[in-house]
């Protein structure tokens, strides 16, 4: 089950400040790839034992100034369609603006939980000023200060009450999500794969919520497709909006084991593709990259090699990912694509016995000691893989604080080389013995 919470509101009301406050603590622990500053507008958090994903709508590129209000309205509409709950942020310093009223009008019709957060209530005096926001017709509101954190606990309590508890998934079959920007060829790929035209185009909002797993047996493999592609294609929403692409991908990715990221070869690997790739990495999902429409590319000797090298550069440091060149149209390599996704699924479940791990890694460390720091030597004594759903390793040592990011990566690369975790994000911890 996923809990997707979107933060909406006008620019400068404090959305990203609130976002940071709500996810930072959690992110610091989860995000092993430090130095990656790609996007800070999607994060995971939990409160009262309930997990949720938070999306700051303001963080996504919007169009030019003259279509500004229109763009904001579209983002709110997308959030309404795709999120499970919405936090609507307004600014007590400015009071109700016409744009706030417009957003409130959209939200009032929605059946999902809506939380009105009156921000910048930094002191008790401003509490009284917040009363006017009753006029938005959204009922109760939460006065918060994203800067100093006051009130955010109450907001989170209310939010958590509406969140779904995690339900463990029974089905052991691989769950594949086919994700990518509009027109990359996701539906064509799925149709080529399952050999029927089942991606019925529908305009019914909310259909995506129910269309999660469908079981298939193809090419000798059993798998579930987590399918949100192709649905609501003719929606009123402008599809090229980056935020739309991301919102479509979030739920599918959170729900899958392996994200099959479809790229349009004629457009190359661009910002939206990178965002989707990064969502999968961030969620510690398996990843397979498919360069689709390869039939349309005029090929010379090094075309494929150069294309691949360019993508690997973009996805660094998580480059140990299968990249396949396919055509959904001619069905070239679509079997290989599924076969690879199954391999990645297996890699993600892989458990390395502790004795085997220690034997290999301690030997490696002996010959590749971490660099001494301030005259102190780091000794790594023992390691183990944690019993987590995705590969995580702990290395016990005397001075974990002296382990640099580069050494972590070095260790990760060795693990990948020894045990094959292709397509799978790995998390590594150095801990005090």
Annotated binding site: 9-16, 56-60, 119-122, 180-187, 227-231, 292-295
- The tally of CA atoms less than 13 A away on the side-chain side of residue 423 is 27
Element (H, E) at 42: strand 42-47
Which residues 60-79 are close enough to bind ligand GDP by CB under 6 A?
A: none
The residue from 61, 67, 131, 296 that contacts ligand GDP (CB under 6 A) is: 296
Which residue bears the tokens 């600014």?
91
Contact call for residue 293 and ligand GDP (CB under 6 A): yes
| Alpha helices (H) in 368-428, listed in sequence order | 405-419
**CB under 8 Å to 271, separation ≥6 — which residues?**
61, 242
**Minimum CB distance to ligand GDP, residue 14 (Å):** 3
Residues 327-366, mask of contacts with ligand GDP (x by CB under 6 A): xxx-------------------------------------
Span near ligand GDP by CB under 6 A; candidates 37-45, 109-117, 179-187, 377-385:
179-187
Residues 146-175, mask of contacts with ligand GDP (x by CB under 6 A): xx----------------------------
Contact call for residue 21 and ligand GDP (CB under 6 A): no
**CB under 8 Å to 188, separation ≥6 — which residues?**
292, 328, 329
The residue from 3, 6, 15, 253 that contacts ligand GDP (CB under 6 A) is: 15
Here the tokens at position 180 are 């990518």
The residue from 1, 129, 182, 396 that contacts ligand GDP (CB under 6 A) is: 182
Here the tokens at position 11 are 């620019």
**Minimum CB distance to ligand GDP, residue 126 (Å):** 9
C-beta separation of 46 from 54 below 8 A = no
Here the tokens at position 134 are 């009753």
**CB under 8 Å to 108, separation ≥6 — which residues?**
137, 138
Contact call for residue 58 and ligand GDP (CB under 6 A): yes
Span near ligand GDP by CB under 6 A; candidates 42-50, 100-108, 276-284, 287-295:
287-295
Contact call for residue 297 and ligand GDP (CB under 6 A): no
Which residue bears the tokens 């005259």?
375
Q: What is the sign, positive or negative, of the torsion defined by CA atoms of 200, 177, 298, 268?
A: positive
Which residue lies nearer to ligand GDP by CB, 174 or 185? 185
Count residues near ligand GDP (CB under 6 A). 32
Which residue lies nearer to ligand GDP by CB, 33 or 89? 89
Buried b (16+ CB within 10 A) or exposed e, 93-115: eeeeeebbeebbebbeeeeebbb
Among the listed residues 216, 196, 230, the one whose alpha carbon sits nearest the alpha carbon of residue 338 = 216
Contact call for residue 12 and ligand GDP (CB under 6 A): yes
**Minimum CB distance to ligand GDP, residue 253 (Å):** 15
Contact call for residue 292 and ligand GDP (CB under 6 A): yes
Which residues 131-150 are close enough to bind ligand GDP by CB under 6 A?
A: 145-147
From residue 376, how far is each of 73, 369, 397, 402, 429 by CA, in Å? 57, 12, 12, 9, 20
- The annotation places the binding site for GTP at 9-16, 56-60, 119-122, 180-187, 227-231, 292-295
Which residue bears the tokens 């801990």?
431
The residue from 45, 143, 187, 385 that contacts ligand GDP (CB under 6 A) is: 187
Which residues 200-239 are close enough to bind ligand GDP by CB under 6 A?
A: 229-230
The residue from 75, 188, 224, 275 that contacts ligand GDP (CB under 6 A) is: 188
From residue 115, how far is each of 154, 155, 295, 392 by CA, in Å? 11, 8, 48, 36
Output the DSSP codes for 300-358: -TTHHHHHHHHHHHHHTT-----EEE-BTTTTBTHHHHHHHHHHHHHHHH----HHHHH
Backbone φ and ψ for 263, nearest 5 degrees, come out as -115, 140
Which residue lies nearer to ligand GDP by CB, 9 or 174? 9
Residues 105-124, mask of contacts with ligand GDP (x by CB under 6 A): --------------xx-x--
Contact call for residue 183 and ligand GDP (CB under 6 A): yes
Element (H, E) at 159: helix 152-162
Which residue lies nearer to ligand GDP by CB, 184 or 315? 184
Rule CB under 6 A: which residues touch ligand GDP?
Answer: 9, 11-17, 58, 119-120, 122, 145-147, 180, 182-188, 229-230, 292-293, 295-296, 327-329
């Amino acid at each position: 089950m996923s809990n997707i919470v979107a933060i909406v509101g006008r620019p400068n009301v404090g959305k990203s400040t609130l976002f940071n406050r709500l996810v930072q603590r959690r992110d610091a622990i989860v995000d092993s790839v430090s130095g990656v500053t790609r996007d800070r507008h999607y994060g995971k958090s939990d409160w009262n034992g309930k997990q949720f994903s938070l999306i700051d709508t303001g963080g996504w590129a919007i169009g030019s100034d003259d279509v500004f209000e229109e763009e904001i309205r579209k983002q709110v509409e997308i959030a309404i369609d795709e999120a499970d709950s919405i936090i609507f942020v307004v600014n007590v310093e400015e009071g109700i603006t016409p744009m706030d009223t417009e957003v409130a009008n959209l939200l009032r019709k929605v059946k999902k939980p809506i939380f009105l957060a009156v921000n910048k209530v930094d002191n008790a005096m401003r509490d009284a000023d917040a009363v006017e926001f009753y006029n938005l017709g959204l009922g109760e509101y939460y006065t918060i200060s994203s800067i100093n954190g006051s009130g955010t606990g109450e907001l989170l309590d209310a939010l958590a009450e509406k969140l779904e508890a995690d339900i463990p998934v029974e089905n052991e079959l691989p769950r594949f999500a086919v994700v990518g920007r509009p027109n990359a060829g996701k539906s064509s790929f799925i149709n080529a794969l399952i050999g029927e035209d089942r991606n019925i185009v529908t305009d019914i909002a909310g259909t995506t919520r129910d269309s999660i797993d469908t079981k298939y047996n193809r090419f000798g493999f059993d798998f579930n497709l987590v399918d949100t592609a192709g649905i609501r294609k003719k929606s009123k929403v402008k599809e090229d909006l980056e935020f739309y692409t991301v919102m479509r991908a979030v739920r599918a990715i959170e729900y899958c084991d392996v994200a099959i990221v479809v790229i349009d070869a004629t457009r190359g690997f661009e910002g939206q593709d990178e965002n989707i790739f990064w969502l999968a990495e961030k969620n510690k999902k398996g990843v397979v990259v498919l360069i689709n429409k390869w039939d349309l590319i005029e090929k010379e000797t090094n075309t494929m090699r150069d294309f691949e090298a360019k993508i690997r550069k973009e996805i660094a440091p998580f480059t140990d990912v299968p990249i396949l060149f396919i055509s959904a149209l001619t069905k070239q390599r679509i079997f290989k694509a599924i076969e690879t996704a199954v391999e990645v699924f297996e890699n993600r479940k892989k458990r390395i016995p502790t004795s085997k791990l220690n034997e290999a890694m301690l030997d490696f460390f002996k010959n590749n000691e971490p660099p001494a720091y301030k005259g102190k030597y780091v000794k790594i004594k023992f390691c183990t893989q944690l019993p987590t759903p995705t590969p995580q390793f702990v290395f016990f040592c005397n001075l974990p604080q002296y382990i640099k990011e580069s050494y972590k990566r070095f260790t990760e690369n060795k693990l990948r080389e020894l045990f094959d975790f292709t397509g799978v994000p790995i998390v590594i911890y150095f801990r005090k013995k």
